[in-house]
Amino acid sequence: MAKLKLGVIVGSNRKESINRKLAQALTKLGGDAFEATFIQIDDLPMYNQDNEIPVPAAVARLKAAVEASDALLFVTPEYNRSIPPVLKNAIDSGARPWGKSSWPDKPGAIIGTSGSAVSTAAVQQHLRSVLGNLGVNLVGGEAYIQFKPELIDDSGDITDASVKAFLQAFVDKFAAFANKLAA
């Protein structure tokens, strides 16, 4: 079976983002099922309906990358118990102009990490609401990863066997879901 084109969207624009590290580790775990491309969102202009037509070049690039993806993986921190502004801006930009949303019918998955045990619970719920409204078909289940400095080594591998097994199961479930929708 051919690999699915996976668009990976990281909801943090920090240079040393732990969510980017998690996203990179997940793409390694899903290497047999997905050909991953990280979709840049940190250079998008702040969404403004006055600037929809024509869409700015960075927004056109985002929309094209989303549309070229067979599935989408959102890996995000939680800001103030909700969606980080850079991610919400990307979602809004990709949904416009009216009638030209890039999101509908894409299989998607949401995951995130922080130092907290419940890490990204609130943002995942908010994203489910927003992305579901935009027509993204989200795989069921939730995944909260408590980040510790030694969790991901310098090669981008998960070092904790139980966390690695959990994340492999998450990736495998998402791959099966995305393949089923693609069929």
Look at residue 118 in the predicted model and tell me its pLDDT: 79
Sorted by sequence, the CB contacts under 8 Å of residue 163 that are 6+ apart come out as 145, 151
More confident residue, 141 or 130: 130
Confidence band of 116 (pLDDT split at 50, 70, 90): confident
Q: Which amino acid is residue 130, in one-letter code?
A: V
- 106 contacts: CB under 8 Å, gap ≥ 6: 66, 69, 70, 71, 72, 135, 136, 137
* Share above pLDDT 90 across residues of the chain, in percent, rounded to a whole number: 93
Residues pairing with 71 in the sheet: 6
Full-model pTM: 0.97
* Residue 1 pLDDT class (50, 70, 90 cuts): low
Please identify which residue in the block is written with the tokens 């989200």: 138
User: What gap in Å lies between CA 115 and CA 14, rounded to an integer?
Assistant: 16
* Portion of the chain with pLDDT greater than 70, in percent: 99
Average pLDDT score over residue span 113-136: 93
Domains of the chain are 4-182 (3.40.50.360)
Q: What is the pLDDT of residues 85-97, one digit of tens each?
A: 999 999 999 999 9
- Check residue 30 and give its pLDDT: 97
* Distances 131 to 6, 108, 136 between C-alpha atoms, Å: 17, 9, 5
DSSP string computed for 98-127: TT--S-TT-EEEEEEEESSTTTTHHHHHHH
* Residue of 90, 84, 162, 151 lying closest to 124 (CA atoms): 84
Give the residues across from 112 on adjacent strands. Answer: 144
Least Cα distance to 97 among 52, 57, 137 occurs for 52
List Cα–Cα distances, 157 to 18, 30, 160, in angstroms: 13, 12, 9
Query: Above 80 in pLDDT, residue 123?
Result: yes
